[in-house]
Amino acid sequence: QDELYKKICEDYEDLIETLPKGKGWWVEHLYKHNGFWLAPIMVKNRLLLHTYFKSQPSDLFLASFMKSGTTWLKALMFSTINRHRYTISDHHLLRLGPQSTFPLMELEFDPTTDLTHLPAPRLFNTHLPLTLLPTSMTSCKFVYICRDPKDVLISKWYFTSKTRSKDLAPLSLDEVFELFCQGISECGPIWDHVLQYWRASLDSPDKVLFLKYEDLKKQPEVELRKLAAFMGKPFTVEEEEKGVVEDIVKLCSFESLSNLEVNKKGVNDFKVVEVENHLFFRKGEIGDWKNYLSEEMKERIDRITDEKLKGSGLIL
Ligand code: A3P
């Protein structure tokens, strides 16, 4: 076991030497690996996942590009799957917050992590693009959440400026904008990330559920019903009558979660980094980019989005 672990660490060191290097937002440098820009820890843990992660057919993955609504979906998936375990007034989420519910694999997984005791379906989160996941994982079900790239850019700039090491120079909006457009951003380019999961959802709708942040904001109950049915836990007529759908939507709303003590003062330990929970809640709105991007910036991003998504059937 130790020999194998050592070998993977050596392979990682060799690999990283060969990869193109770019500027990171959250970390100092990103490395381009099979078309995507990854933080070094992601490159390493991805190799570990390939060797050590043993998937189960009932596993459910939440995949997303950072800042697309992961925290919200974590809360919705966890509370929907576990709706018979907790009452709304005494809920795990109220005490410990969404980040505590299930792990972000490329940061929190290591070979010593025992996942065998978790009840089925096990829930996992990843920001990795589909083509960088171990093939054993890709036979599991995935829920993917996407969001207008302009809102992702602003949300990510805020988040990474707060979590970026104080030893590194802060990044200006102009700088992150340019990097974002070039695709240089943790797990970027965002367009390729989204498209991989989009195409998989078209090929295998029973395996990949593709959701949009904007739809969730506009019609949360409709999207939650879709999510529950996809996860194999559709709401019953009795639950509908009791208002369970509305209760879960309310429990997981921005207003509810952002006002919890644990999300105002708590910290989540992602093993390689600790992050203050409040940083996962900024505004939770559609179109806040309008307060930051010039008309020219907006047009440039929209043009890239149109070009990249042309012919895919996806509109962002
Ligand atoms: P903003 O920065 O635009 O406010 P992620 O969870 O993927 O890191 O994404 C964070 C973004 O989702 C932030 O967007 C955050 O405010 C928003 N968010 C977090 N919880 C939410 C919720 N319950 N409802 C709607 N948006 C939420």
**Contact criterion met (CB below 8 Å) for 206 and 140:** no
pLDDT at residue 273, rounded to an integer: 87
Tell me the CA–centroid distance for residue 196 and ligand 1, in Å: 22
| Catalytic choice (33, 50, 117, 127) | 127
Under DSSP, the state recorded for 292 is T
Tell me the CA–centroid distance for residue 118 and ligand 1, in Å: 27
What do you get for the CA distance between the two ends of the chain, in Å? Answer: 45
CA–CA distance, 79 with 86 (Å, rounded to integer): 8
- Regions of the chain where pLDDT drops below 70: 1
pLDDT at residue 270, rounded to an integer: 87
**127 part of the active site:** yes
Helix, coil or strand: residue 207: coil
Q: Can you tell me which atom of ligand 1 is nearest the CA of 98?
A: 20
pLDDT at residue 1, rounded to an integer: 65
Tell me the CA–centroid distance for residue 236 and ligand 1, in Å: 29
pLDDT at residue 107, rounded to an integer: 93
Instruction: Name, in order, each residue with C-beta under 8 angstroms of 244's C-beta and a sequence gap of 6 or more.
Output: 83, 235
pTM equals 0.97
pLDDT at residue 207, rounded to an integer: 97
Under DSSP, the state recorded for 276 is E
